[in-house]
Structure formats: C-alpha cells, structure tokens
Amino acid sequence: MSYTIPIGPYHPALEEPVHARLITDGESITDAKVFIGYNHRGIEKLSTQRNFIQTIVLVERVCGICSHSHAFNYAQAVEACGHMNVPKRGQYIRVIMAELERLHSHYLWLGVACHLIGHDSLFMHIWDDREIVMDILEEISGNRVNYGMVTIGGSRRDIDEQKAADILRMLDKLEVSICRIRDILLADKTVAARTQGIGVLSTEDAIRIGAVGPHARASNMPVDVRIDAPYSCYDEFEFEKAVWDSCDVFARVVVRVLESVESIKIIRQALAKMPKGPINLGVKIPKVEPNEYMTRHEAPRGQLCTKVVTNGTDTNERVSIHVPTFKNAPTLAHMLRNNTVADAGLIVASIDPCFSCMDR
C-alpha cells in the first residue's frame, strides 16, 4: 500500500529544519521531494549596513561549525577588491585554523553518524576526541565557536611557540586515535549493515546535480578547491584528495576519516614552515575602491563561494554567500529513492547539511 510520509521540518534525526516528503510502497521509498527555506536570518542584507570589520562578525555567524571558513573567504574577497597583500604568517595562521575547523566539523559529523547508526559507544569516543580539537581552538582564539581569528589584511591573533607545541601534542593523540577509529569503521558489522549500499549517489548523478566537497568525493568525484584552484598558501603544502568510489553513506564516512588524516598533515607542515613577520596589515588598511570579486574556499562541507561588491566606502554594496549545502541538498531526493523509511534520517544527515547556512 502506498503512503506519503513526512519527515520534518522538525524531526529528531535532524539538527535543523528541512522537510522531506516520502512516497512509499510499504517500507520502500519510491519517490521523494525535499523542501527547504524554513530559516531566514537576513545576514546578507545586514552586511550592506556594516563596515568590512563588522561584517566579519556577521558572516562568522552564517554557520557555527564552519565560522572561520566564512570569515576567511569574505576577508579574501575584500582584500582582492582592495589589492591587499596579506602577510605570509597571517596566511599560515588562517590555514591552520581552517584545518583545525575541518577536524572539528568532521569529528562532529562522524559522531552524529555513529549515533544515527546506533553505535553510541563509538559516537562518545569520537566526540571525546573532538573535545581535544575544541580545546586547542579555544587556547588559540579564546573561543570554542566563532573564533574571531580573521581580520581584513590577516589574522587577529598569533600562534606562539607554546601554542604550536600544544597543537603538535594534540595532533600526536589524534593520529593514534583516528587510525583506531578508521579501523573500527571499516570493519564493524553494524556500521556496514547501516551504511553500505544505502543512499547511493553515482558519480554520473553527482556530476549532473553538482555535488561538492566530501559528498562529491565520496561519489568518486576528485574535486577539492585547495588543490584544483589553490588560494592563500595551500599550494605550499603536500596533501591528497580523499576520494572513495562506493558512492554510498559508507563512502561518506570513509572520506571524512581520510580527510581528517590529511588535515593533520597540513597542520604539521604549516607549523614546521611557519614564517616570521607580522600577522596582519595593522591599522594601515588601504582604501577599497569600487570593485567586485568572488572567492572560493574548501569549507568542511565543500566549496564555499563569497562575492563582495564594494562602492568606495568602508561599507559593502553587496555580499553574496553560496554555501555547499545549497549544492548538495538537491541530491537528497535522488538518494532517498529505493531505500527504506528507516534509512531516511541517516541519508539526509549523510550530506552533513547546514540548512541554516543555506537560508542565510
């Protein structure tokens, strides 16, 4: 018998509001429609009433988990409009923070995924490791969320030798732990039963719909802005794209584990190569002429695009933010088909959605 089953906009398996309408034949999903737009916070509009420094505070709050990514990308766009050269040390600090944030984000998602799968012991183990990352973020910036580390022209805070040593000690712990987590996830029968062959998004469909980030790389799409179009100082580090070819929820788990290993490699290299010198341009920021520029950044969830239009004052004429969930959400309807109702919550969560990001 056919039923229409609504999931959301408020559902215990979802962190944020989204509505999926499932057309079912018994337990099987024969068709699905996804509806978005349940949040609106007017951040883009508010940014036209704030100066460049104040707007950093706004864009950081587009998303709590990838707040540094939004500040990083917005600052790069303004700096490009004003033809500013960010000091190399400031760029390195930005990259270190970006990769620590990626670790924080991936650990958060892996823990949530294990909870939805029903593997709560692994969920608690992963989130215990996530606390180590958040403690380091707090030591560097003073905050566990919305770090306030970016300013126009560089970084707001430095990473001294003591903090660098603490980061390395943290990475030593995480490297041992992430290998153990990887081995469990790859071999555990519960994880395999709930993820392998579930929510399949083929490479062809991922390309056709336009998936980005770990979601795309889990469908065997080798796309990563850090390597394909290097920005800041990413071209000075050696790391690999984390790609998997099974195209299911299991692949999305594996890719985020592999990316965590690559992030650790990048942070180690950045600390070892950290140049001397200033971390920002100080108070001598040049006047930004009327201009427009769009920048791309590989946020934890995928490609983040920020376009800034300036008008010759210190206020934005326009700020447009294109988040990765906007590209990945259209894949949900395709992935839900031919699965069971019991798997729907996990499939929606598998793209690591941030619907509040999308409705900025």
pLDDT tens digits, one per residue of 17-31:
888 888 888 888 898
Q: How confident is the model at residue 89 (pLDDT cuts 50, 70, 90)?
A: very high
Residue 279: count of CB within 10 angstroms of its CB: 23
Could you tell me what percent of the chain has a pLDDT over 90? 65
Residue 138 has pLDDT above 80, yes or no: yes
Q: How far is CA 292 from CA 51, 80, 320, in A?
A: 16, 9, 11
CA gap 141, 101 in Å, rounded: 12
Residue 204 has pLDDT above 70, yes or no: yes
Look at residue 33 in the predicted model and tell me its pLDDT. 87
Helix (H) / strand (E) containing 321: strand 316-322
Look at residue 56 in the predicted model and tell me its pLDDT. 94
CATH of the domain at 220: 1.10.645.10
CA gap 43, 61 in Å, rounded: 8
Cα of 20 vs its chain's centroid, Å: 23
- The one-letter amino acid code at 25 reads D
CA gap 219, 202 in Å, rounded: 6
Beta strands 150-151 and 28-35: pairing type?
unpaired
| Token code pair at residue 22 | 């499932």
CA gap 333, 198 in Å, rounded: 13
| Token code pair at residue 236 | 């000075």
Closest of 221, 218, 224 to residue 204, by C-alpha: 221
How does DSSP assign 83-129, residue by residue?
A: T----HHHHHHHHHHHHHHHHHHHHHHHHHHHHHHT-HHHHHHHHHH
Summarize pLDDT for 118-129 with one digit per residue, the tens. Answer: 888 999 999 999
- The one-letter amino acid code at 146 reads N
| Token code pair at residue 91 | 């760029």
CA gap 302, 296 in Å, rounded: 10
| Selected residue with higher pLDDT from 36 and 233 | 233
Question: Helix, strand or coil for residue 290?
Answer: coil
CA gap 276, 89 in Å, rounded: 6
Total of domains in the chain: 1
Closest of 306, 280, 283 to residue 293, by C-alpha: 306
User: Is pTM, for the whole model, over 0.85?
Assistant: yes
Residue 45: count of CB within 10 angstroms of its CB: 12
Look at residue 12 in the predicted model and tell me its pLDDT. 66
Look at residue 14 in the predicted model and tell me its pLDDT. 66
Look at residue 26 in the predicted model and tell me its pLDDT. 86
Beta bridge partners of 29: 24
Could you tell me what percent of the chain has a pLDDT over 70? 98
Q: How confident is the model at residue 13 (pLDDT cuts 50, 70, 90)?
A: low
Cα of 294 vs its chain's centroid, Å: 18
Summarize pLDDT for 39-76 with one digit per residue, the tens. Answer: 888 899 999 999 999 999 999 999 888 899 999 999 99
CA angle 33, 324, 28 (to 5 degrees): 30
Residue 107 has pLDDT above 70, yes or no: yes
| Token code pair at residue 317 | 């004429």
| Token code pair at residue 98 | 């970006």
Structural domain including 181 reads 2-358
Q: Which of 2-11, 76-85, 290-299 has the lowest mean pLDDT?
A: 2-11
CA gap 34, 30 in Å, rounded: 14
CA gap 61, 59 in Å, rounded: 5
The end-to-end CA distance of the chain, in Å, is 40
Closest of 20, 345, 17, 14 to residue 4, by C-alpha: 20
Summarize pLDDT for 279-328 with one digit per residue, the tens. Answer: 999 877 788 999 999 999 999 999 999 999 999 998 999 999 999 998 99
